[in-house]
Amino acid sequence: MKKNVLKKVSAGLLAAAIITGSFPANVFAEKGSYELDYIINNPYETVDWKNQHQYKADFHAHSKNSDGGNYTYEMVEDHYKKGYDILAMTDHNYTTKGWENAGEGSVSPERKAEIESGAGRNGRGMLDFSYSNEQSRTDHINTFLTDWNNSSPASMENTLREIEERGGISHINHMGRYTGYKTSDPANDPSQISKYVNLLDTFRSCVGVEIINKIDNESRYDRILWDNILQKTLPEGRQVWGFANDDTHSLNATGYSFNMMLMPELSIDATRNAMEKGTFYSVSRVSRVDGINSTLPNGNPMPGSGNSSTTYLLDQATPSISNISVDQKENSLSVEGKDYTTVEWIADGKVIATGNTIDLNDYEDQVNSYVRAQLKSETGIAFTQPFSLTIQEPEEIDVKQIESKKNQANINFDILSPNGKGYAVFLSETGETGSFEKYNNVNYNRKGAHIKGLAKGKTYYVYIAFVEDNAITEKTDIVSFTTGR
C-alpha cells in the first residue's frame, strides 16, 4: 500500500491490519478461477498482409571469392532464376561491395541494372544486399552493411562489437557446428545457452541466429537452442529472430531454405528494418527432427548440403503465410497460409497446441514468455518469429481503512458500484500463493466490502478484485488482519 494510504488507517487498526504484498499474478492460473490478460508483442503488427509484398531472401551465399564453387555472377543469376528477391553474398572474410565489384566473376554494371529492374521477370527485380561478409576467424557470424573484415586472433565478442560500433547488423550462423549436432544434448546445455544469451544481451545489433542452415544437417537441433535462448532473453525484453539460409556454395545447393521478408518496398533500408524488427518468416524444405524430407526417395540419408541428388526438392511446394492476426482482448493469435497440413504452436520449446488459432487462456499453465507457430507439410516447414508475452497487471485499488471486529471486517476503498457488482473478495488463512478462495459471505456498501462469518481471534489474508470479461482488471494488495475475541 502507498504511504499516503497507510496514514489514513487509524493507529489502533494498524496493529491488526498489515499490508503483506502485491497480488500474485499466478493465483488465478493456479485456481483456474479467472483468465489472465496478456500483452502480446506482435512483430507483424505493422505488416499490411493484403497489400505488402513478400520478398524471398538468401542472406548466406558464397562464391569463388572464398570457398564457393561458382563465380559471383553465376550465383546471382542462379538466385535470380530461382525467384529470389534479395541476395547477400557473404564470402568468408571478404566484403562484397556490390556484385559488380566482386574480385572474382563480378556482374557487369549493365547486367546488374537489368536484374535490379526485373528484366525477364515482369519487372520483379532482385536487390543486391551488399557490404556483407561471413566473419569466419571465430564462430561464424554474418555481418551486413559494413565495410569491415576481422583478423586473427578474433573472437565473437570483438566481431560483434566492431560491427555494432560501425553501425552494421549481424546474425550468428549454424550454431550446431560449434555446440554439436549428433544429439539434442548440446542444445540443452546451460553453458552453451549462456554463451549465446550473453552475446545477444550485450550486442543488440546482432538481430538473430540461423535456425536452419543448408538442408538442416548441422542445424537440426538449433531450433531447440533457439527456444532455450528465447526463454532467457525474452523475459528481459530481448527479441532474437530466427533465420533460414542456404549457406550455398554451389548452384545445386541453392533454393532449400530462405526468408520471406514482409516489406512495403524492395530496398536496402526496408530489408534492414525487417531484419531488425522481425517482419519476416523463415522457410525450409527439410527439417530432420520433424521427419520432413529427412531421407532421399531411395531411403538413403539426406546429404549435408544440396547437390544434384536433392534438386527434386526444389519442385515441391513449401508452406507460406498469408496473414497473422492478434486479438489482444481475446488473448488469441491466428495464422493463415497455403500448402501446409498442420499448424503447431510452440512455447518453451514444446508443442502446446495445434490449429490455426491459439487462445492463450486455454494454455496458461504452459505459456510463459512467448509463443511461436510453425506450419508443416510433408515437403516443408515455415516458422513465424516469436510473439513475446507479458501478463497485464491489474490496476491498483487503494485500501483506505481496515476495521476488524469479532466475526467480521470492513475493507474500505473507493468502490465504483455500491452494490458490489463486479467485485470479488478472496480469503486465505495462510497468505500463500494459490491458497486464496473466493469468499461469498460479503455485503458491499458505499465505503467498500463488509466481510462476515469470520472466526474470532483468527488472522486472515484478503484481497479484493474487480472482474471484467472474466479477467481481473483491478485489485488491492493482499492485506492481513486479526479478528477480535
Residue 394 vs residue 357, higher pLDDT: 357
Q: Is residue 479 scored above 60 in pLDDT? A: yes
pLDDT, tens digit, 9 for 90 and up, residues 371-423: 999 999 999 999 999 999 999 888 999 999 999 999 999 999 999 988 999 99
- Cβ atoms of residues 61 and 87 within 8 Å: yes
**Distance, CA of 92 to CA of 137 (rounded, Å):** 9
pLDDT at 230: 98
pLDDT, tens digit, 9 for 90 and up, residues 235-253: 999 999 999 999 999 999 9
Residue 75, classed as helix, strand or coil, is: helix
Cell of 354: 495445434
For residue 387, what is the enclosing H or E element? Answer: strand 387-391
pTM: 0.87
pLDDT, tens digit, 9 for 90 and up, residues 67-124: 999 999 999 999 999 999 999 999 999 999 999 999 999 999 999 999 999 999 999 9
Q: Is residue 12 scored above 50 in pLDDT? A: no
**Cα dihedral 185→186→188→191 (10° resolution):** 140
**Distance, CA of 51 to CA of 103 (rounded, Å):** 39
CA triple 439-442-443, angle to 5 deg: 160
The mean-pLDDT minimum among 15-24, 167-176, 189-198, 435-444 falls in 15-24
pLDDT at 20: 52
pLDDT, tens digit, 9 for 90 and up, residues 129-145: 999 999 999 999 999 99
Furthest C-alpha separation in the chain: 96
pLDDT at 18: 52
pLDDT at 19: 52
pLDDT at 8: 29
pLDDT, tens digit, 9 for 90 and up, residues 326-336: 999 999 999 99
Q: Is residue 13 scored above 90 in pLDDT? A: no
The string of DSSP codes covering 244-297 is EE--BSSGGG-SSEEEEEEESS-SHHHHHHHHHHT-EEEEES-BGGGTBS-B-T
Which residue type occupies 373? A
**Distance, CA of 167 to CA of 144 (rounded, Å):** 10
Mean of all residue pLDDT scores within the chain:
92
pLDDT at 29: 35
